[in-house]
């Protein structure tokens, strides 16, 4: 039986009003501006940009405000907006080796070409609440400066002299291992067509470019959980971070009318390269690589991405595949926060017809069960279910 629902539109409109009221909060407190979110909640903005697959700090901050800080909902909003944009071309591959480096560490060698650059990190902070931040402009701001950054009229940042970055190109740390022939070579550069999972969904078994694209859009918590599982024994995967760097990379677009590559701007990215000791399978004993690259500053995710990239290459390297993190179909089919959120939250929508149909099926199954087990008395089952259906 299908019953029409009345009054739903008015209830939804009222719900929208309540949502706007809750988002604003107390009127005695100043409204939180999008600029404040962009500048002071930068790591949240970076995560939304990365998983939303759109590099725009202003729109990511807007999505965070609209979603009341629910990052999964903000990612959903940004991803939905992204689908409305016109695609006018493909950029050239980022040259991360020439990025303007703000942070760069290597855990395999103390002295690396170009040196270590600690940069901004929570790694060495005390995990103690800083009560000074409760006050407006709390904390010691005397040593802070804008690092040579200046805000343009459109709210973006233009950079002059970088006080917190190395402008010279830094050789990747994997190069030290490569020269000693201890690490597998990289694949051929250029020449091949790169998959685009926003146009053609990944097929299984997937190619590495499809996997990397899916992982960079994947949910950080899910990727980190799978990465953690491999380190605990569900897949032998405990690497060294050969290099982790965060900085500004130039986006280069080949202009068809000019037939020359032109730098159209810079974006901040985090790149991670891991090396994994590989002693079995179909390759000679050597270090093999994992790779991660994401928008903004997100080191946990970049490391998790690199480890899962290597983990999903197990079959390629002749290693046994027996755990979820090694199964590309499992990882890629479940790592997208937008898809996962949509399927989970659809359970909140009305399922009246489905539930009534299932109850009718349950009544028939119980009646059949009673016939097969005549010694078990359950004379009221069918009556109870019929009563529940009539009440629904």
Alpha helices for the chain (secondary structure H): 8-24, 34-40, 42-52, 57-66, 71-82, 174-179, 208-217, 220-231, 299-311, 328-334, 337-345, 352-372, 381-391
Q: Which residues pair with 150 in a beta bridge?
A: 158
Nearest to 324 by CA among 238, 234, 237, 236: 234
151 found inside a domain: no
pLDDT band at 1 (very low <50, low <70, confident <90, very high): very low
What does pLDDT average to over the chain? 86
Instruction: Name the most confidently modeled range: 86-95, 140-149, 278-287.
Output: 86-95
Judge whether 298 and 50 are in contact, CB under 8 Å. yes
91 found inside a domain: no
- Global pTM? 0.86
User: In terms of domains, do 202 and 232 share one?
Assistant: yes
Judge whether 248 and 99 are in contact, CB under 8 Å. yes
User: In terms of domains, do 27 and 78 share one?
Assistant: yes
143 found inside a domain: no
Token pair of 372, please? 């097969």
141 found inside a domain: no
262 found inside a domain: yes
139 found inside a domain: no
pLDDT digits (tens, 9 = 90+) for 132-188: 998 877 665 655 555 445 444 444 444 444 556 665 555 565 666 777 778 888 765
User: In terms of domains, do 283 and 372 share one?
Assistant: no
Count the domains in the chain: 3
CB-hemisphere CA count at 13 Å for 10? 3
Token pair of 207, please? 């190619």
Answer yes or no: is pLDDT of 385 > 90.
Answer: no
Q: How far does the chain reach from its first CA to its final CA, in angstroms?
A: 9
Judge whether 342 and 336 are in contact, CB under 8 Å. no
User: In terms of domains, do 331 and 382 share one?
Assistant: no
Per cent of the chain over pLDDT 90 is 61
User: In terms of domains, do 114 and 165 share one?
Assistant: yes
DSSP 128: S
User: In terms of domains, do 246 and 382 share one?
Assistant: no
User: In terms of domains, do 71 and 206 share one?
Assistant: no
Nearest to 244 by CA among 311, 194, 205, 290: 290
User: In terms of domains, do 247 and 373 share one?
Assistant: no
Domain range for residue 359?
352-391
Please, what is the Cα angle at 339 between 335 and 344, to 5 degrees?
Answer: 105
User: In terms of domains, do 299 and 365 share one?
Assistant: no
User: In terms of domains, do 316 and 170 share one?
Assistant: yes
4 found inside a domain: no
User: In terms of domains, do 167 and 222 share one?
Assistant: yes
User: In terms of domains, do 202 and 339 share one?
Assistant: yes
221 found inside a domain: yes
User: How far apart are alpha carbons 160 and 268 in whole angstroms?
Assistant: 16
């Amino acid at each position: 039986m299908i019953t029409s629902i009345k009054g739903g539109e008015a209830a939804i409109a009222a719900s929208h009003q309540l949502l706007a009221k809750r988002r604003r909060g107390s009127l005695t407190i100043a409204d939180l501006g999008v600029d404040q979110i962009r500048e002071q909640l930068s790591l949240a903005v970076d995560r939304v940009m990365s998983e939303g697959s759109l590099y725009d700090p202003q729109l990511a901050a807007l999505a965070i405000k609209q979603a009341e800080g629910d990052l999964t909902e903000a990612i959903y909003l940004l991803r939905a907006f992204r689908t409305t944009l016109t695609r006018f071309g493909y950029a050239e591959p980022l040259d991360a080796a020439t990025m303007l480096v703000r942070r760069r560490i290597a855990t395999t060698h103390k002295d690396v070409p170009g040196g270590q650059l600690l940069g901004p990190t929570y790694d060495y902070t005390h995990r103690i609440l800083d009560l000074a931040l409760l006050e407006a402009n709390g904390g010691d701001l005397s040593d802070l400066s804008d690092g040579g950054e200046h805000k343009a009229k459109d709210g973006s940042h233009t950079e002059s002299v970088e006080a917190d970055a190395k402008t010279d190109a830094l050789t990747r740390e994997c190069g030290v291992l490569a020269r000693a022939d201890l690490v597998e070579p990289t694949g051929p550069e250029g020449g091949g067509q790169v998959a685009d999972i926003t146009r053609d969904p990944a097929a299984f078994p997937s190619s590495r470019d499809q996997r990397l694209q899916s992982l960079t859009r994947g949910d950080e918590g899910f990727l980190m959980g799978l990465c953690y599982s491999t380190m605990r024994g569900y897949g032998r995967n405990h690497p060294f971070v050969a290099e982790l760097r965060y900085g500004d990379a130039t986006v280069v677009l080949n202009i068809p009318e000019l037939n020359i590559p032109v730098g159209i701007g810079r974006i901040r990215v985090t790149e991670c390269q891991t090396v994994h000791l590989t002693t079995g399978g179909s390759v000679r004993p050597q270090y093999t690589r994992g790779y991660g690259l994401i928008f903004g500053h997100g080191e946990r995710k970049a490391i998790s991405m690199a480890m899962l990239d290597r983990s999903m290459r197990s079959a390629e390297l002749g290693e046994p595949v027996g755990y979820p993190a090694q199964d590309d179909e499992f990882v890629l089919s479940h790592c997208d926060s937008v898809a996962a959120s949509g399927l989970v939250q659809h359970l909140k929508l009305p399922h009246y017809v489905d539930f009534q149909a299932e109850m009718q099926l349950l009544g028939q199954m119980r009646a059949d069960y009673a016939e097969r087990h005549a010694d078990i008395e359950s004379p009221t089952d069918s009556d109870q279910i019929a009563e529940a259906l009539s009440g629904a």
